[in-house]
Amino acid sequence: MAGKPRAANSTLGRVFPTRPAPRLPDKDARHYALERFRLFLSYLDFHRTGAPGETSSFRIPIESIFLAEPDNLEDAKLPAISLIPAMGEHSSYGLGPTRLLEGTFNVYAEDTALARLGDYTEVIGVEVWGAKIAERRSIVAGLKTVLRLSDSSYALQLKLPDYYDRIASFALEDSTYIEDGAALNRRRAHLFVRLQVSEVQLVNVNTLSPVHTLATLDGGVYETLDSPVPSED
């Protein structure tokens, strides 16, 4: 009977003595990035202008921020936001083998490290729904601002604590107002945001312990001193 099939061109994660590999993930980098973005959006304070000199602040509850277009948006409580998926691109690094990330040895589990698989990029649609023009306008204006407030680039950067502390960036690309639901008091707008996040996988690694042997001559007697030195390489 044929044995268990293995990838012929990969030894990543194979160790001796053998031990079970970390389990395959049930969620990908995209999922964790959008979940964090959704939580971030739920804490934003938007400011709506009403009558001259009157403003009011409001938040969009996380229950009204959807990771995909809801089945029945007519029943959703406004204001609301939907994150519309698009084609994603997976970019690998060069032509060489997958590399381990420095500084991740024994961080997330004993005798493991993170292997960097590549970058994931997707231009997601951020669909904004408001009951009134002023409400929609304030959400769009607020999102345009926070998506470009990073200290290091014109993109929002969020740390993903549930995905090995990786960083996801969200960069504003385009926006448009859509006038197709005024009669229903449902004002809509679209922002197009480029999501980029690194994709990683936890793999087994072994620690090598090279032995240094020192021979000294003392009265015709050789003494050997063995000194194991831990190494991640």
- Average pLDDT, 10 consecutive residues per value, the chain (233 residues): 50 60 86 97 91 83 89 78 94 73 89 90 95 92 90 86 96 91 77 96 77 55 45 41
Query: Given the structure tokens 């408001």, which residue do they identify?
Result: 130
In-domain check, residue 14: no
Q: How many other CB atoms are there within 10 angstroms of residue 36's CB atom?
A: 19
* CATH number for the domain that contains residue 52: 3.30.2000.40
Residue 142 has which token pair? 């607020």
Q: Which of 229, 232, 198 is nearest to 214 (CA)?
A: 229
In-domain check, residue 41: yes
pLDDT (0 to 100) of residue 179: 84
In-domain check, residue 63: yes
Question: pTM, whole model, 2 decimals?
Answer: 0.80
pLDDT (0 to 100) of residue 76: 76
In-domain check, residue 59: yes
- Terminal CA-to-CA distance of the chain, rounded, Å? 36
Residue 26 has which token pair? 């049930």
In-domain check, residue 177: yes
In-domain check, residue 222: no
In angstroms, the CA 121 to CA 147 distance is: 16
Q: How many other CB atoms are there within 10 angstroms of residue 51's CB atom?
A: 6
The total number of structural domains in the chain stands at: 1
Angle (CA) 129-133-59 rounded to 5° is 55
In-domain check, residue 233: no
Q: What is the pLDDT of residues 12-35, one digit of tens each?
A: 555 556 777 777 889 999 999 999
pLDDT (0 to 100) of residue 50: 73
In-domain check, residue 232: no
In angstroms, the CA 205 to CA 123 distance is: 35
- The range of the structural domain enclosing residue 90 comes to 29-207
